[in-house]
Amino acid sequence: MRLRHRDRLLLVPVLLCALLGPSAPEAMASDGPQASTSAEVAQLFEDAAKATATYEQGRRRAEVQRDKADGLQRQLNMQRDELEAIRDEVGSVARAQYRTGGTLAVTAQLLLARNPDELLRGRRLAWQAGLAVNQLLGRAGQANRKLTQVEGKARAARRELDAREAQLAKIKRSIEAKLEAAQWKLQAEADRSVAAGRCSGAVKLGRSGGKPPRGAAWVAPVEHYELSAGFNSAGERWAKRHTGQDFAVGIGTPVRSIGAGRVISVSCGGGFGIAIVVQHPGGYFSQYAHLAAVTVDQGDRVRTGQWIGQTGTTGNSTGPHLHFEVRLTPYLGSGVDPVAWLSERGVWL
């Protein structure tokens, strides 16, 4: 589903507080995003990803277990049908014996036998009749035992399946609830920083993000996303046209530098909220806006795929997302279509 949030972007260059040289006290201002919150959100994102992976593994195992339970149910139905058939057969024999006098008629035939051959035939018939009944009763008992076993296995399989799904769902809900609370705490800290007009400085998370594919010079700015507002699209929230590409993601999602370069500015005010601009070799610049926290400072060298911030909804934003631009200069108004630009470099969004 495509989200319909929009940015109202200003046509004048954004005041970049990092370019103005924020003072040391401002860089460490307590009203900005705190390292503990940023780290907590980053860790919870990892935990959520692991929980999701575990949940999916468990779900696949549960599907196997469900198929097993369904197979046991089919086996159970077959056993029931077989048992019913045996009972019907035993009932037919019993009714036949009742109509012919049962074992009494057989005894009378033996007593009234006129010669040894007839006697032997009578005894053989009596033995065969008794054997048939005993066999039918034995089959009935065996089928009933199998039925009991299969019923027990089917119940156990269903209980195990229900317990597995309930446990996985509980773990997933718990992590998601913690993540949501931490995300909005991070956003509240970022909003205070923007409102005060003070850049809080880089939050060091103790990690630099995942490695890009081997040999990749360029990557997407976020890993998991939905594309929303595109470059040069129209909207009532913009003075003219949309100047970048929006990525719909949750608060605190790690933002990656699309390529190697140098951070030339970290800003914390205006329509873009908290934003980063990176200069890349070849004369191009990339911008990452509406952030909740940054993990780099002005002047830092960054590599392809390195974490440089966390997404948010600061500035002129109606919902959590990353506003991403590729520019010919560091300033607003020099943007090019980032989707086309990245596709030319082997990155398809």
What confidence score (pLDDT) does residue 285 get?
98
Residues of the chain below pLDDT 70: 1-34, 69, 72, 90, 93-130, 132-133, 136, 140, 205-213, 235-240
Q: Is pTM, for the whole model, over 0.85?
A: no
Helix axes 116-196, 35-99, angle to 10 degrees: 160
Range of 139's domain? Answer: 58-177
Contact at 8 Å (CB) between 349 and 245? yes
Q: Do residues 168 and 203 share a domain? A: no
**Rounded CA gap, 64 and 161, in Å?**
10
19 domain-assigned: no
**Single residue among 177, 206, 232 that ends a domain in this structure:** 177
266 domain-assigned: yes
- Name the residue among 253, 247, 297, 291 with its Cα closest to residue 272: 291
Q: Would you report the helix, strand and coil content of the chain in percent, each value rounded to 5?
A: 50, 15, 40
| CATH number of residue 290's parent domain | 2.70.70.10
Q: Do residues 112 and 64 share a domain? A: yes
45 domain-assigned: no
What confidence score (pLDDT) does residue 176 get?
85
Half-sphere exposure of 293 (CA within 13 A, CB side): 32
